[in-house]
C-alpha cells in the first residue's frame, strides 16, 4: 500500500561549479548517478507519486527520472519557483508533500520518515529538516522557540544572537498538501537576488496561524554536492556506509578503506576481500568466496566458494561458477566459467563458455574479435588447454579434449581428442656459437656505421 505522501525532487540546478557538460545530478556516486540514489531513498517511503523538477532541455535528467513524471522550471529564479512548477503534477493530492533535492543523495529514508512522522503528529503545515553543524557559518539558521520553528534566517542576514545558533537548514521540507498551493503562491521575490525562496514558506505559514516545526538529522547526511571536490567527499561518505553494511552482513575486509563498492554490490555471508579491490555496478558474490588483493569486478556473478585473484579482472556479462579459480592477471569478459573450472595464470577469456572442471593454462587467449565482430569460444567439461594457446573463435573444444601448449586452434576439437596447432620444431646441433658470433659482428658494424 502507498502512503498519502507525494515527493517533489528539485533537479533544475545548473551545477556550474562542476564544470561539466554532464548535468550535476547525473554525476556518478558509488557507480550510480546521484539522482538514482535520491530516487531510491524516497522510493522507500512508498509515496503515491514522485515528481521531478528539471531545467529546459534537460532530456537526460528527465530520462533518469523515468518512469516518474517531470515538469520544467522555465527560469532559474529560486527554489520556491521550482517547487511551484510542480503544483500541476500534484493536483488532487491533499496529503503531505516532501520536497528534496536531486543533489542530496546522502539523506536517508529513515531521516525523511522522521520528518514526515513529526509533521503528522504535530499537524504541521511546514516541517524542515535541520542539523547541528560543526561550522554553521555558511548555512541558514533554524530559529526554534518552545518546539516551534519561528523562522529561517540566512547566514548573511543573521544578527549576533542568531549567528550563535548551530541548528542549520538542510533545505528538505515537508508541507501540508492542502496548503501547499497557497504557501508557494504567497512567496515573493522582493530580495536582493530577485528570487523566490522556498524557506519563505515558514514565515507565510506562521503568519496564517499554522504550526511549523524543525526536526534534527545527522550533519553527515546533508553534505552539499556543488563541485568535484564535494562529490569526492560524498563518495567517501557513501563508501563508508556501504563498507559498514557489508561488514555487518558477515563480509571480511582486510583493509576496508581500500575496498570500493557500488551501490548495488551484493554479498552473501563469509565472503573475504583483500586490499585494493574495486566492485563496479551489477556484482553479486555468493557465500564463501575469497577475493584477493587488486581485483576489479563489474557486472558479474561470483558463485559459492570461488577463489578470485590476486590481480584479476572480471568484466560485465561474466558468470563465475561454484568453486571456480580465477588467478593472477586473468581477465574475463562475457564469459561463463562452470563449476570447478580453473584459469590460474595470465589468460584472457572473452565471450567464452568454459566447461566444468576444465583447466585453462597460462597465457591462453580466447581470440574473440576478428576486427569486425565478436565470436564465442566453447570449451567442454574436463578439457585441458595447454599454456600459451590461442583459441580462434568461433571454435569448440570437446569434453575431455587436450590442446597442447603453444597451439593455435582454428578448428573444432572433438571430445577426447588431442590437438596440435603449432609448427614442427627444428634443431640444428652446434650452430648456437656461430649464430651468436654473426649477430655480434652485425651489431658492431651497425655501431661503427653510426660514428
- Alpha carbon 25 to its chain centroid, in Å, reads 13
- Listing DSSP states for 189-213 in one string gives --STT----TTHHHHHHHHTT--EE
b (16+ CB within 10 A) / e for 158-168: beeeeeebbbb
Query: In the listed set 173, 200, 222, which residue is the last one of a domain according to the structure?
Result: 222
Does a structural domain hold residue 146?
A: yes
CA distances from 422 to 24, 366, 404 (A): 55, 16, 9
Question: In terms of domains, do 18 and 120 share one?
Answer: yes
Quote the pLDDT of residue 3: 63
158 and 38 in a common domain: yes
Q: What's residue 2's pLDDT?
A: 52
Is residue 196 exposed (0-12), middle (13-18) or buried (19+ Cβ within 10 Å)? buried
Kindly state whether residues 217 and 283 are assigned to the same domain: no
Q: Are residues 43 and 120 in the same domain?
A: yes
Structural contact between residues 7 and 100, judged by C-beta atoms closer than 8 angstroms: yes
Cβ–Cβ < 8 Å for 382, 400: yes
- Note down pLDDT in tens along the chain; length 451 residues: 456 899 999 999 888 999 999 999 999 999 999 999 999 999 999 999 999 999 999 999 999 999 999 999 999 999 999 999 999 999 999 999 999 999 999 999 999 999 999 999 999 999 999 999 999 988 999 999 999 999 999 888 889 999 999 999 999 999 999 999 999 999 999 887 899 999 999 999 999 999 999 999 999 999 889 999 999 999 999 999 999 999 999 999 999 999 999 999 999 999 999 999 999 999 999 999 999 999 999 999 999 999 999 999 999 999 999 999 999 999 999 999 999 999 999 999 999 999 999 999 999 999 999 999 999 999 999 999 999 999 999 999 999 999 999 999 999 999 999 999 988 888 999 999 999 999 999 999 999 998 7
Distance CA 172, CA 441 (A): 81
Residues 232 and 214 in one domain: no
pLDDT of residue 1: 41
Helix axes 228-248, 34-43, angle to 10 degrees: 50
Tell me the residue range of the domain where 152 lies.
3-222
Number of structural domains, the chain? 2
Residues 6+ apart with CB under 8 A from 246: 253, 261, 265, 267
CATH classification of the domain holding 86: 3.90.550.10
Residues 392, 370 within the same domain: yes
Measured between alpha carbons, how far is 291 from 305 in angstroms, rounded to an integer?
Answer: 10
- Domain stop point among 222, 239, 274: 222
Q: How far apart are the first and last CA of the chain?
A: 88
| Residue 67 placed within a domain | yes
Give yes or no: residues 212 and 258 share one domain: no
The answer as to whether 431 is a domain residue is no
Q: Are residues 295 and 156 in the same domain?
A: no
- On whether both 137 and 170 belong to a single domain, the answer is yes
In a domain, 218, yes or no: yes
How far apart CA 266 and CA 289 sit, in angstroms, is: 12
Among this protein's residues, is 325 annotated catalytic? no
Catalytic entry in 37, 93, 345, 375: 345
CA 406 vs CA 114, 184, 363: distances in Å: 66, 75, 9
Based on the fold, state whether residues 285 and 139 are members of the same structural domain. Answer: no
Q: Is residue 451 one of the residues assigned to a domain? A: no
CATH code: domain of residue 341: 2.160.10.10
For residues 377 and 62, give the distance between their C-alpha atoms in angstroms, rounded to a whole number.
41
Residue 271 lies in a domain: yes
In a domain, 411, yes or no: yes
- Please check whether residues 239 and 386 belong to one and the same domain: yes
**Cα separations (Å) of 179 from 93, 184, 207?**
11, 9, 13
Name the DSSP letter for residue 423. Answer: P
Amino acid at each position: 500500500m502507498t502512503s498519502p505522501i507525494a515527493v517533489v525532487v528539485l533537479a533544475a540546478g545548473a551545477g556550474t561549479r562542476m564544470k561539466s557538460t554532464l548535468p550535476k545530478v547525473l554525476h556518478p556516486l558509488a557507480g550510480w548517478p546521484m539522482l538514482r540514489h535520491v530516487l531510491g531513498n524516497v522510493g522507500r517511503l512508498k509515496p503515491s507519486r514522485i515528481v521531478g523538477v528539471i531545467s529546459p532541455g534537460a532530456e537526460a535528467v528527465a530520462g533518469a527520472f523515468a518512469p516518474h513524471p517531470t515538469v520544467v522550471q522555465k527560469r532559474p529564479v529560486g527554489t520556491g519557483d521550482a517547487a511551484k512548477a510542480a503544483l500541476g503534477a500534484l493536483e488532487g493530492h491533499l496529503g503531505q508533500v516532501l520536497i528534496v533535492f536531486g543533489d542530496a543523495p546522502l539523506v536517508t529514508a529513515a531521516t525523511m520518515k522522521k520528518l514526515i512522522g513529526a509533521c503528522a503528529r504535530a499537524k504541521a503545515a511546514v516541517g524542515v529538516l535541520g542539523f547541528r553543524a560543526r561550522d554553521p557559518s555558511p548555512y541558514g539558521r533554524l530559529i526554534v522557540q518552545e518546539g516551534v520553528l519561528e523562522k529561517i534566517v540566512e547566514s548573511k542576514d543573521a544578527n549576533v544572537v542568531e549567528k550563535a545558533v548551530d541548528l542549520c537548514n538542510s533545505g528538505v521540507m515537508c508541507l501540508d498538501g492542502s496548503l501547499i498551493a497557497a504557501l508557494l503562491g504567497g512567496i515573493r521575490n522582493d530580495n536582493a537576488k530577485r528570487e523566490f525562496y522556498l524557506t519563505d514558506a515558514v514565515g507565510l505559514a506562521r503568519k496564517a496561524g499554522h504550526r511549523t516545526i524543525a526536526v534534527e538529522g545527522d550533519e553527515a547526511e546533508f553534505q552539499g554536492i556543488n563541485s568535484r571536490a564535494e562529490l569526492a567527499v560524498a563518495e567517501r561518505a557513501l563508501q563508508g556506509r556501504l563498507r559498514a553494511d557489508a561488514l555487518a552482513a558477515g563480509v571480511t575486509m582486510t583493509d576496508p578503506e581500500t575496498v570500493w563498492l557500488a551501490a548495488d554490490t551484493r554479498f552473501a555471508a563469509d565472503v573475504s576481500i583483500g586490499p585494493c579491490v574495486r566492485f563496479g555496478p551489477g556484482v553479486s558474490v555468493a557465500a564463501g568466496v575469497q577475493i584477493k588483493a587488486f581485483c576489479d569486478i563489474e557486472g558479474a556473478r561470483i558463485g559459492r566458494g570461488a577463489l578470485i585473484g590476486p590481480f584479476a579482472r572480471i568484466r560485465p556479462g561474466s558468470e563465475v561458477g561454484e568453486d571456480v579459480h580465477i588467478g593472477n592477471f586473468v581477465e574475463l569478459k562475457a564469459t561463463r566459467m562452470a563449476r570447478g573450472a580453473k584459469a590460474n595464470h595470465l589468460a584472457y577469456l572473452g565471450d567464452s563458455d568454459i566447461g566444468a572442471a576444465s583447466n585453462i593454462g597460462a597465457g591462453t587467449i580466447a581470440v574473440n574479435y576478428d576486427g569486425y565482430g565478436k565470436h564465442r569460444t566453447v570449451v567442454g567439461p574436463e578439457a585441458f588447454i595447454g599454456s600459451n594457446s590461442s583459441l580462434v573463435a568461433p571454435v569448440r573444444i570437446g569434453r575431455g579434449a587436450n590442446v597442447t601448449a603453444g597451439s593455435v586452434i582454428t578448428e573444432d576439437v572433438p571430445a577426447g581428442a588431442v590437438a596440435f596447432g603449432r609448427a614442427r620444431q627444428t634443431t640444428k646441433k652446434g650452430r648456437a656459437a656461430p649464430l651468436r658470433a654473426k649477430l655480434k659482428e652485425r651489431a658492431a658494424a651497425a655501431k661503427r656505421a653510426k660514428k
